[in-house]
Structure 1
Amino acid sequence: MAYDIEKSNNEWHAELSPEEYRVLRCAADEAAFTGEYTDTKENGVYSCRACGADLFTSEEKFDSRCGWPAFYDPKDLGSVQVQRGGSSYPVVRCARCGSYLGELFEGEGFATPTDKRYCINSLSLRLKPADSE
């Protein structure tokens, strides 16, 4: 699949920490309850740590008690890509660079407008606080 931002593995290795590379480019999940943004309540926009694309906002973030940041919807419909098949749950990727973000769970009964849980790795995100925009 073609993305707006395409780089070689060597370029990604040079730009990302080993942990970021493992999550963003190798589709590995960080351990539950260890991520920087799991319990963050700060207002702002969560962007892709690899390319800087705006993905989610604090408005859509909710406490799902799953151990990872959870959002009920992306910032914009085209900001993330959901890939179904090949995994137990649909995989969520950045629509701009194809980096792995996490997985999508639906129909779990959360009291959110969409009943969706975008379960996203903190290492895939960077929070831009609202007061810095």
Structure 2
Amino acid sequence: MPSRHVSEVIRLAPALVYAWTRDTAHLPLWASGLASAPGRRDGHDFVVRSPMGEVRVRFTPRNEYGVLDHTVTLPDGTQVLNPVRVIAHPEGAEIVFTVRQLGSSDAQSAADVATVTADLRRLKELLEA
């Protein structure tokens, strides 16, 4: 299965979506595939309990382009780059998350896409409330 781009349109300004989504304190509220509880800072990393065990998350530096790429270091040391963008959309902002299959099975990749889809829907609901 090739990479899949999962997106959700959010009726808010892109800068607001970017700032709120980038705040690691908010991850447990919407990113169930990444953060199952509040985490802690460790230098440039955010350490959080996840469905995969304790992981380290490092976002790309703040930028004006809406790039929210982040590298997740898994418990076994494997690093996974997750490309994420917040872009302008006629109805506000669109957040686009690229899910890569890498070494996972088609079934696991489909499950990852389903998780990201649900997470982005939850993000939309939280931000538009």
Q: Give the TM-score of the pair, scaled to structure 2.
A: 0.29
Larger relative contact order (Cα-Cα within 8 Å, sequence gap ≥ 6) = 2
Greater fraction helix: 2
Greater fraction strand: 2
Q: Give the TM-score of the pair, scaled to structure 1.
A: 0.29
